[in-house]
Chains A and B, each alone.
Chain A
Amino acid sequence: GENVEQHPSTLSVQEGDSAVIKCTYSDSASNYFPWYKQELGKRPQLIIDIRSNVGEKKDQRIAVTLNKTAKHFSLHITETQPEDSAVYFCAASIGPSNTGNQFYFGTGTSLTVIP
């Protein structure tokens, strides 16, 4: 089955700097790659996603890049702010398909933005 690895597990940056979180996956059939932000004690919130037919997607200060050949995708946050502090985790999804959908998640990166 799919194996999603996420690095780093913790990341501290100064306010205003950029943060980059990387994930790798193993199954070339994976075709959808979302990123979630989870604040302490809260539910995961989808913040950006990318599909396998796209190499890059941007939404204001957040961007995601996908390298299908290398099987890795990354989350980029520019001009970080203290409110960006949270746990971020990635996922790789195979589907939809007649045999059902499969989701695999990274173990998360705890991002701290230092004012």
Chain B
Amino acid sequence: DAGVIQSPRHEVTEMGQEVTLRCKPISGHDYLFWYRQTMMRGLELLIYFNNNVPIDDSGMPEDRFSAKMPNASFSTLKIQPSEPRDSAVYFCASSLSGSLDEQYFGPGTRLTVT
């Protein structure tokens, strides 16, 4: 298995533009997690899905952020409109169970909003 796949690996966009980050979990993993990592706040859990259903989105910073999982092999995190403070590395992770010890992280997407 190729592991968790994220695209793009780097994204540079201008303030106000829509940004879509993509994730393909490991096949067979029922849980998918979206994280944001910044120097100031470290790693933060934004939202996670179980069997394609959002379970906890309390970490989503505001209405500009939305996440979907239309099927077991694909998820998106969308920011609209983007702002400079959204600049961060966004990680996707997947696991068989919902616990932290079995999570596999993707390579991350480095987002820069100018």
Complex Cα–Cα for A89 and B43 (A): 9
Partner of B42, one of A49, A93, A105: A105
B interface residue count range (under 10 / 10 to 19 / 20 to 34 / 35 or more): 20 to 34
- Interface residue ranges of A81-97 to B (CB < 8 Å): 89, 91, 93, 95-96
Residues of B within 8 A of A100 (CB): 48, 55-56, 98
Scan B28-57; emit 1 where CB is below 8 A from any A CB, else 0: 000000000000111111001000000110
A96 & B99 in contact (Cβ 8 Å cutoff): yes
B105 & A32 in contact (Cβ 8 Å cutoff): no
Q: Tell me if A16 is interfacial: C-beta within 8 Å of chain B.
A: no
A44 & B42 in contact (Cβ 8 Å cutoff): no
Residues of B within 8 A of A106 (CB): 42
Q: Tell me if B101 is interfacial: C-beta within 8 Å of chain A.
A: yes
A interface residue count range (under 10 / 10 to 19 / 20 to 34 / 35 or more): 20 to 34
Q: Tell me if B25 is interfacial: C-beta within 8 Å of chain A.
A: no
- Measured CB to CB, the closest approach of chain B to A18, in angstroms, equals 24
Binding site for B on A (CB under 8 A): 6, 32, 34, 42-46, 49, 89, 91, 93, 95-96, 100-103, 105-108
